[in-house]
Amino acid sequence: MDSTSSPEPGLRPLLQFTRALTGDRGLAEDVVQEVLIRLHARGDRISDIDHLGAYVRRMAVNEYLSWGRKWFRQRPTPVLPEPPPQSDHADRHAEHDWLRTELAGLPRRQRAVLVLRYYAGLTDAEIADELGCSAATVRSHASRALATLRIEITRLQELPT
């Protein structure tokens, strides 16, 4: 490896050296990966290194020697924890379709208030400006619309599945 090229031309000899050093191909690849990440982080200072090949080999040796100390703190487990359950994509679309249907059943002003509040993120005063009414009227429309949606949700939950 010279200082003007990427480390790739010397990658195979570095991997062979590190494999001989570690005695394990997987560990050698991990060590080389860490060395290349650290070498890349040096960026523009690589050109200042006179014997890049020797420098990288020394980095590999140091990384291998510190590997045990680094991984000593991390305990691998044979069984990974279960990932948190994710909702079904189809269920989410069904809920969105249901919400659109229910919003369409609301009076226009109530629907406009809910969309401006929850979708656009406007405050009551901004919604009042937008609709040309008072903030109290906005709160009244929102309250009635949410009550209507709550009644519908309650009714759906009471239906037998």
Q: What pLDDT digit, counting tens, does each position of 15-30 carry?
A: 988 888 888 888 889 8
Which percentage of the chain shows pLDDT scores above 70? 85
Residue bearing tokens 């109290």: 136
Specify the pLDDT at position 152: 77
Whether pTM > 0.85 for this model: the answer is: no
> How do residues 116-127 score in pLDDT, each as one tens digit?
898 888 999 999
Mean pLDDT confidence for 41-58: 79
Higher pLDDT, 38 or 74: 38
Confidence of residue 135 (pLDDT cuts 50, 70, 90): very high
- Average pLDDT over the chain reads 81
- Please answer whether residues 106 and 114 qualify as being in contact, where contact means their C-beta atoms are separated by less than 8 angstroms: yes
Mean pLDDT confidence for 88-102: 83
Question: Which residues, in sequence order, are CB contacts of 56 under 8 Å at separation 6+?
Answer: 1, 7, 10, 14, 35, 39
Specify the pLDDT at position 147: 92
Specify the pLDDT at position 24: 81
Buried b (16+ CB within 10 A) or exposed e, 82-109: eeeeeeeeeeeeeeeeeeeebbeebeeb
